[in-house]
Amino acid sequence: MNTTQPTDTPAPRLPLEGLRVVEFTHMVMGPTCGLVLADLGAEVIKVEPVEGDRTRHLLGAGAGFFTLFNRNKKSIALDLRQPEGAEVARRLAAGADVVAENFKPGAMARYGLDYASLSRHNPRLIYASLKGFLPGPYELRTALDEVVQMMGGLAYMTGRPGDPLRAGTSVNDIMGGMFGAIGVMAALIQRGITGRGQEVQSALFENNVFLVGQHMLQYAITGAAAAPMPERISAWAVYDVFTVRDGQIFLAAVSDAQWTVFCDAFGFDDLKAAAHLATNNDRVIARRELLPDLRARLQSYTVEELAAVFEREGLPFAPIVKPEELYDDPHLRATGGLVEVKLPDGGACGPTAAVPLFPFTMDGERLGVRTDPPTRGAHTGELLADLGYDAAQIAALRERGAVS
């Protein structure tokens, strides 16, 4: 395959420019997959129901879902239950490089939007199915991030013994969407070689099992079951949250060299000289006695004083930060890690809000926000015209409620 570009053709600014993705997704997992492709430059068309994606108006922990996971996308609002709406969707998919969906198994087949139906007419299509479970005994179960955290060992590891606790963010939804996008990009490379597309599947449960794999292997290697994180046997002696004069701070010294630096910084010559604390493994064994001693020695310091010492000495530390405080983080602000977007329906703090960008650079640049999260059906007319519908046909579709 000749990939050389003519010298007078400018190279694409983003790696997936020119790629069309049609996204039949909702909540977090599916939109995350589309977001990865959109931020990398693909044209991502979000197909919403005529009443709009449900995440647009969620409360509480779901209030930020739509804004975070749907930037850089177009929106078309279709009623797939109406034959005319389903036909529009099939015409969109016929011209797509990638279709992504995260509905229950069998749901897309009812509208002729499953991989088997679409690939007959578009053999180059890459079809990403983002599910609760990969095919097997569990595949028809209804899954949520919290469901798979409970059944996949993550909630057990996060909570205290006897008190399983889900992780504080949608880890499986987000990572499951990311793995789906990785599969799509691998399939794109393979399509460039073979000329054919394929179906890619990613699942919440299997993602969760991957996350706890280190604890599974801990048991396989040591014969001892991993304890929940609050009761874990730490690999390092100084690796914990300390309550000090005006708050809390995480402090760590994870090597013998760092232990020496730590002791010298605070004048703990007696600890540095103690034979039973000579190595990291020695200190782990002595951790039950060592940590209370260190807490007593450090409790009179302020968070700022400890942070200054640890930063000066190059030791690991972290203040305990709430999510809303990240808006004022100097590093994020200085490096462009937060970018303002217009909120589709406004917000309590104003019409815009800062969103975090992907945590990597390409050619020294962060992947930015090209377009704000779309309002419901913002691109319906444009996309219908692109498919060959004339003004009268579009008006008729709107009148019947097949599109909005």
Q: What is the pLDDT of residues 291-344, one digit of tens each?
A: 999 999 999 999 999 999 999 999 999 999 999 999 999 999 999 999 999 998
Beta strands in 88-186 (DSSP E): 98-101, 126-131
> How crowded is residue 202: how many other Cβ atoms within 10 Å of its Cβ?
26
Q: Which residues of the chain have pLDDT under 70?
A: 1-12
Tell me if residue 68 falls in helix, strand or coil.
helix
- Using CA atoms, how far residue 318 sits from 214, 240, 306, 334, 364, in Å, is 24, 10, 10, 19, 26
Q: Note whether 373 and 35 are within 8 A (CB).
A: no
Q: What is the mean pLDDT of the chain?
A: 94
CA nearest neighbour of 72 among 358, 346, 334, 349: 358
The pLDDT tens digits for 70-98 are 999 999 999 999 999 999 999 999 999 99
**pLDDT given at position 6:** 47
pLDDT at 5: 46
Q: Which helix (H) or strand (E) holds 2?
A: none
Tell me how far apart the alpha carbons of residues 109 and 105 are, in angstroms, rounded to a whole number: 9
Q: Are 241 and 248 in contact (CB under 8 A)?
A: yes
d(CA 271, CA 253): 13
Cβ-count burial of 162 within 10 angstroms (0-12 exposed, 13-18 middle, 19+ buried)? exposed
> What are 270's two structure tokens?
């007696």
Set out the domains of the chain in order of their start, with CATH numbers. 20-212+353-400 (3.40.50.10540), 234-323 (3.30.1540.10)
Upper half-sphere CA count for residue 306 (Cβ side, 13 Å): 27
Residue 292 token pair: 């209370």
Residue 44: burial class (beta carbons within 10 Å; 0-12, 13-18, 19+):
buried
d(CA 207, CA 294): 38
Query: What is the number of helices (H) and of strands (E) in the chain?
Result: 17, 13
Q: What is the DSSP string of 316-373?
A: -EEE---GGGGGG-HHHHHHT-EEEEEEEEEETTEEEEEEEPPS-EETTEE---SSPP
